[in-house]
Amino acid sequence: MDLVPAPTGKSSSLKSPVVEVEAVDMAPADTKETITTMENTAAVGNEAMQSEYETDSDDSGSDLEAELEVLHDEELRCGIPDACSLDEAIAFRNRLHEVGKAVFVQETIGADTITAKKLCTAFGILPPDFLDGAPDSAYHPLLAIAISREFSRRPKLPQYNSIEDAVKLLKESKKIIVITGAGISTSLGIPDFRSKDTGLYSKLEHLGLSDPQEVFDISVFREDPSIFFSIAKDILPTEKKYSPTHGFIRLLQDKGKLLTNYTQNIDNIEANAGVLPENIVQCHGSFATASCVKCEHKVMGDEIFGDIRKGLIPECSSCRKKLEDDSLKPQGMKRKRSTSATQKRRKADGEDSSDDDEDYELPTPGVMKPDITFFGEDLPDEFGRRLIHQDRDQVDLVIVIGTSLKVAPVAEVPGVLPRNVPQIYISRTPVSHTSFDIDLLGDCDVVVSELCRRAGWDFQHEMIPAGEKVEVSNVEGYESRHMFKVVGA
């Protein structure tokens, strides 16, 4: 399971590449003013647009996307009134990458060949209703955001399109980065977070939280750890099981092809499959270990799994031993407990507070918190260090599996890697905010097992039926997008 959105902190410095306009002087004076205005507003607007990427759901109906009125390519294909067609949108995007932002704005807005309002739709933004009737210049800030976002994202490599291309890349590559999310664990019964009706967040209404994400908020955990532990048993790692997709990552390792598996999942199931710790970056931490919130005593995660499965809050054994040792020593002065607001009100109202024990804090063991990264905590330093200073210079293939890649900083990984390195995407549904060279759509386990068959690799797993037949078809209108389906399923 991937903990999403990924918290950011002081140690997380990875940013998406920002490409500045370098050809402004090529534009006529009247166009320069338009470009300058658009560029100056883009920086502010981009900050607001970041919320679009803070979801792990593949559900196109998410609340954030609805509020931002995001247009997907599938909608453009069906036709939207007063919007670009999908073919027009693709042509505009290609032209932007070909000539750069300044010339593109000159050719479109500067030459009055299209309105800013309509051009926004080419880049996935449906103009908001509150701007209806406003002059076209009112859409420039929104268009600047859309253009900057599109221009900074990685363009597709045109030479990679077919299943055969994907298999050839798999066989020939020697330094593969694999980026994984919740989709590689769902076949084991571990829920993702945001899927409608089945995701973990859809089942948390009984907790009375204003936002279900609060269950992973570090401040909420410190105040009341029982909220997290009430759901922790549902996301614990399975007993020594792993999915075929985990097995596929292990196979890449065994063949000497795995450079690094960057996983957003916290279930640590990669270890069950035999992927070595040195080949994994746990971007959001994991259940593999746990630490005391008081004394920082660390234990292996499975030492507290028994308590978690019983619905108990695991306590620190080191703290408990220290308290037991202290109880054998001569007792000194009790530690005065700070007076709470409730106690102050009771005293002000004249209520009896003669029980002296209420004024003193009884020492208790610390809570053992699994070493997953909660909202409000820094990401592991290893993430940025390894990506920037090691893997970026070595990688020759990127495979993204089971994640919609809409969460910083992991979502930014494909964009910071060399653009000439091919990228393959494997998941149930495609993404529109990032360009991959080949999209392989379907159940992750089915896709990877079929790739191995076509590569001639001996790939065995108890969850892959003997003699399984998979039908692969092209998605209409997309040369490099393919659908995988088990025949007879």
Both tokens assigned to 83: 């919007």
283 is in an annotated binding site: no
Stated as kind and residue range, the H or E segment containing 259 is: strand 258-263
User: Measured between alpha carbons, how far is 151 from 172 in angstroms, rounded to an integer?
Assistant: 30
316 is in an annotated binding site: yes
DSSP state of 441: E
- Cβ–Cβ contacts within 10 Å for residue 154, how many? 20
Helix, strand or coil, per DSSP, at residue 373: coil
User: Measured between alpha carbons, how far is 244 from 43 in angstroms, rounded to an integer?
Assistant: 43
Count of helix runs (H) and strand runs (E) in the chain: 18, 11
Backbone angles phi, psi at 448, to 5 degrees: -70, -35
User: Measured between alpha carbons, how far is 463 from 449 in angstroms, rounded to an integer?
Assistant: 10
Both tokens assigned to 96: 């932007």
DSSP state of 326: H
Closest by CA to 433, choosing from 37, 18, 150, is 150
Both tokens assigned to 32: 């320069």
User: Measured between alpha carbons, how far is 333 from 322 in angstroms, rounded to an integer?
Assistant: 18
Residues 69 and 128: beta-carbon distance below 8 Å: yes
Both tokens assigned to 224: 């009341």
The secondary structure of the chain in percent helix, strand, coil, rounded to multiples of 5, reads: 45, 15, 45
Both tokens assigned to 464: 């892959």
Which neighbouring-strand residues pair with 487? none
Cα 160 to chain centroid distance, Å, stands at 25
Whose tokens are 């980065």? That residue is 177
319 is in an annotated binding site: yes
Cα 73 to chain centroid distance, Å, stands at 21
C-alpha distance from residue 188 to each of 281, 297, 489 (Å): 21, 31, 18
Closest by CA to 296, choosing from 281, 318, 278, is 318
User: Measured between alpha carbons, how far is 103 from 25 in angstroms, rounded to an integer?
Assistant: 10
- Cβ–Cβ contacts within 10 Å for residue 258, how many? 22
Catalytic residues: 284
**Per-residue burial over 208-244, b = 16 or more CB atoms within 10 Å of its CB, e = otherwise:** eeeebbbbbbbebbeeebebbbbbbeebbbeeebbbb
DSSP E strand boundaries for 293-410: 298-300, 368-372, 397-401
Residues tagged in the binding site annotation = 292, 295, 316, 319
Residues tagged in the binding site annotation for Zn(2+) = 292, 295, 316, 319
